[in-house]
Amino acid sequence: MVNLSEARTLSAKIRMNEDIDTKSNKIGQSDFIKAHKDQMLRHGILISSAMTPMLEDCILSVCDNLYIPRECVTAFVYNSPETQADCAIESEDSCVLRFSSELVKLLSDVELMYVAGHELGHFMFGHKAKSLGEHLTSEDYLVKRAGELSADRLGYLACGKIESALRAILKIASGLDDNHIRFDVT
């Protein structure tokens, strides 16, 4: 069994108080996760040192910075014009990350590390995605926002540079690259 205790200790220290820890959120729906991973194996590219060495280096660095064993994370890139990333929790010890090709092209390596760290935050905190059409209360939205802020904090720890984290957020929000945005975080 993989030991994630150091990673969980780190995550607990930076978790927002309003990001409610519910044990029912820890593991995703197994049929959905299997289909999700199967689709990526058929239609995406597995991030590995053999096929995508620069992306693999980013994932390795993020895992090292967050004390997450690399074998806990399966990561893919899939072809899409959208700037998207997500994390599906397979079990308490493993997750599947997906990055759209447009997102990978838009971000620098350090910015991508922020996004990977953010997505791994959802894994570490056991965040469960709400289904489309599921009714959310005002409290649910507050908890969801706190969960995103907790994941943002882990993203920052993953990349280690506040400017890169902010640049990633602005690029994802706008879809614009360095040529079209003037970054002045001061």
Helix H or strand E segment including 76: strand 73-78
- At 26 the pLDDT is 44
Mean pLDDT over 95-114 rounds to 97
- 120-155 pLDDT per residue, tens: 999 999 987 655 556 778 888 888 899 999 999 999
- 15-72 pLDDT per residue, tens: 998 898 765 444 445 666 677 677 777 889 999 999 999 999 999 999 999 999 999 9
Mean pLDDT over 83-112 rounds to 95
Task: Tell me how far apart the alpha carbons of residues 75 and 47 are, in angstroms, rounded to a whole number.
Answer: 5
Task: Tell me how far apart the alpha carbons of residues 39 and 34 are, in angstroms, rounded to a whole number.
Answer: 9
Quick check: 158 and 117 in contact, CB under 8 A? Answer: yes
CA distances from 173 to 46, 143, 159, 170 (A): 26, 21, 19, 5
